Amino acid sequence: MRVMTNSIPQTERRRDALSKERIVEAAIEILDSSGESGLTFRALAARLATGSGAIYWHVANKDELLAAATDHIVARVMAEMAKSPGPREAVRTIALGVFDAIDVHPWVGAQMQRAPWHTSMLQIFDSLGRQLEALGVPQAAQFDAATALLSYILGVAGQNASNARMHGQDPDRAGVLAKTAAHWAQLDAEEYPFVTKVAHQMNDHDDTAQFLAGIDLILAGIEALR
């Protein structure tokens, strides 16, 4: 008769055992609450009630940790993406999904910039590219068009990330905009004729609407290719 051991099988660990998943989840929580500068291996180890070296057993280094955290967010975005009727709407939906995710997790924007050809970016790139055929874009132009869309999205993503870095979790978004508008308005009109002219538009300014306006501009240019 074989003796049954009461040891826990390898696939079924203690609730509080360390794993890459738990580490990534904790990292995302720290990134969301304390920003990019708040994520240190010491802070992460403290939250997981372990030593900083233990994390290195599951994760190679900080780059891999940030990449895994970004993958986690992007995967969720792509999964929740409802099928859209037309290709034009699909592109807007993808772009908006990324934009909203970065609004909630600004550090994702910085990470996307840092590793633009990582898996999570390739998923977005591919789903953008898939729509271009349906839009009637010639084969030869599809690559450039998809790259343009992705570059624009990454540009806005990076700016949102740096805004968050600068102003933290500042709830007074309107106040920041008003301050910028006032600063622009008082610039030398000889040196900055355009900025002084559009300064007032900074006040009643909708980030999301402006982002979509840019997407529409590129889409209009793409449709002109036919």
Partner DNA sequence: ACCTGAACACCGTTCAAGT
CB 73 → a copy of itself: shortest distance, Å? 18
CB 8 → a copy of itself: shortest distance, Å? 35
Residues 108, 70: contact at Cβ < 8 Å?
yes
Stretch that binds DNA, among 36-44, 115-123, 147-155, 187-195 (CB under 7 A): 36-44
Establish if 182 lies at the interface with a copy of itself (CB under 8 A): no
Per-residue contact string for residues 54-83; x = within reach of DNA by CB under 7 A: x-xxx--xxx--------------------
Nearer to a copy of itself, 25 or 207 (CB): 207
CB 6 → a copy of itself: shortest distance, Å? 42
> Binding residue for DNA (CB under 7 A) from 8, 21, 33, 40?
40
Establish if 50 lies at the interface with DNA (CB under 7 A): yes
CB 104 → DNA: shortest distance, Å? 22
**What's the chain's length in residues?**
226
Nearer to a copy of itself, 8 or 198 (CB): 198
> Binding residue for a copy of itself (CB under 8 A) from 62, 159, 167, 178?
159
Give the whole-angstrom CA distance, residue 149 versus residue 134.
16
**Per-position DSSP letters for the chain, written without gaps between them:** -PPPP-PPPTTS--TT---HHHHHHHHHHHHHHH-GGG--HHHHHHHTTS-HHHHHHH-S-HHHHHHHHHHHHHHHHHHH-PPPSSHHHHHHHHHHHHHHHHHH-HHHHHHHHHSTTSHHHHHHHHHHHHHHHHTT--HHHHHHHHHHHHHHHHHHHHHHHHHHHHHTT-S-HHHHHHHHHHHHHTS-TTT-HHHHHHGGGGTS--HHHHHHHHHHHHHHHHHTT-
Nearer to a copy of itself, 26 or 77 (CB): 77
Residues 192, 201: contact at Cβ < 8 Å?
no
CB 133 → DNA: shortest distance, Å? 41
Establish if 144 lies at the interface with a copy of itself (CB under 8 A): yes
Residues 150, 125: contact at Cβ < 8 Å?
yes
Establish if 146 lies at the interface with a copy of itself (CB under 8 A): yes
Provide the binding-site residues for a copy of itself, judged by CB under 8 A: 113-117, 122-123, 125-130, 132, 141-148, 150-159, 161-162, 165, 180, 187, 191-195, 197-198, 201, 210, 213-214, 216-222, 224-225
